[in-house]
Amino acid sequence: MTLQINSLSLTAGSFHLKSITLEIQNGEYFVLMGPTGSGKSLFLKSICGLQSIETGSIIIAGKDVTNLPPRERNLGYVPQRSNLFPNMNVARNIQFPLDMRGIKGAEADKKVSEIAEMLKITHLLDRATYHLSGGERQKVALARALAAKPAILILDEPVSAVDEPTRREICKDLATIQKELKMTTIHVCHSEEEAKSVADKAGILYHGVLKKVGTVDEISKLYYNKSMSEKV
């Protein structure tokens, strides 16, 4: 599904996102980079409908979802800190979006098993979430986001809090799954290596302005250049 953002602007406290326009094609993996405090998470939240916008529009698969509540946008969102539901075990976490769509019983169990197998977390299904490691938590959050086959997958620094080998493993899984499901994905990260391992296209956000969209190499060069603000 194509994601189109047209002239999106918003204010949160003293911070502003200024007229962001972006188009991510169906099945494309887009990485958004930018220094801390540049508004990346706020931008993702506005796509999810968790942050109200002042002007602009958000169009998913040709449908204007700007004024729709989060539940009607058909998105899968993985926040920085997995934010699993601590009152549910892993299986019930993954089952949650299915429940919300009226998929229950054997059908839901089958879908949970499939997604758990895809992410190699079948052995975790009966565990309580507070017994999981950081990497396991992120994988469960990813499984939960993917369970109901959303139109767009939104990942907010999904591997920032895990160790290097786990980061590589999750990125590899992400790239494979994304290609397999042909799911339009937007992924916020700080690492060039992480971006290169998953992305088709990248963009850089700086002080609330989407400065440039291009290849990962182009964006990485800008990101790691200390005089970026002058250059862009």
Q: How far is the CB of 31 from another protein (least distance, A)?
A: 20
Assigned token pair, 21:
């326009």
**111 and 98 Cβ atoms separated by less than 8 Å:** yes
**Residue showing tokens 């229950």:** 104
Q: How far is the CB of 97 from another protein (least distance, A)?
A: 4
Report the candidate in 70, 20, 31 with the shortest Cα–Cα distance to residue 48: 70
**Residue 141 and residue 149: Cα distance in Å, rounded?**
14
Stretch 99-118: interaction string toward another protein, x if CB under 8 A: -xx-----------------
Q: How far is the CB of 51 from another protein (least distance, A)?
A: 10
* Total site size for another protein, rule CB under 8 A: 29
38 vs 129, beta carbon nearer another protein: 129
Residues 32-61 that bind another protein (CB under 8 A): 45, 48-50
Residues 58-97 that bind another protein (CB under 8 A): 69-71, 73-77, 79, 81, 83-87, 96-97
Count other C-beta atoms under 10 Å from residue 41's C-beta. 18
Residues 172-201 that bind another protein (CB under 8 A): none
Helix or strand (DSSP H, E) at 76: strand 75-78
Distances (CA, A) of 161 to 37, 166, 210: 17, 10, 25
Which residues are near another protein by CB under 8 A?
45, 48-50, 69-71, 73-77, 79, 81, 83-87, 96-97, 100-101, 129-130, 144-145, 148, 154
